[in-house]
Structure 1
């Protein structure tokens, strides 16, 4: 297992250990880790990509939750 994979696994665990309503805050770091893995020619697991999509949707939703009416 490479260092990038180990770092990704730690980040994944940290995200899942965080309250669901705050997980989207990890999206920038997850994006960075995915890009680093891709740049290194490593395969990004489907579960990580799915988590990234989920965090992206949550981040977008959070923006609308804070909009004044």
Structure 2
């Protein structure tokens, strides 16, 4: 396993250990890690891509939760 893969596993675990309402805050770091893996020619697991999509949707929803009505 590469260092990037190990780093990604640690980040994945940290995200899953975080309260669901705050997980979206890790989206920028996850995006960076995905890009680094792709640039290095490493395969990004489907579960990581799925988590990234979920965090993106959560981040968008969080923006609307903070809008004044």
TM-score by length of 2: 1.00
Give the alignment's Cα RMSD to 1 decimal.
Answer: 0.2
Does residue 3 of structure 2 align to residue 9 of structure 1? no
Q: How many pairs are equivalent?
A: 69
* 1:64 corresponding residue in structure 2: 64
Structure 1 portions without partners, runs of 5+: none
- Deviation track 1:13-56 (CA, whole Å, cap 9, x = no partner) reads 00000000000000000000000000000000000000000000
Q: Which runs of 4+ in 1 moved over 2 A?
A: none
TM-score by length of 1: 1.00
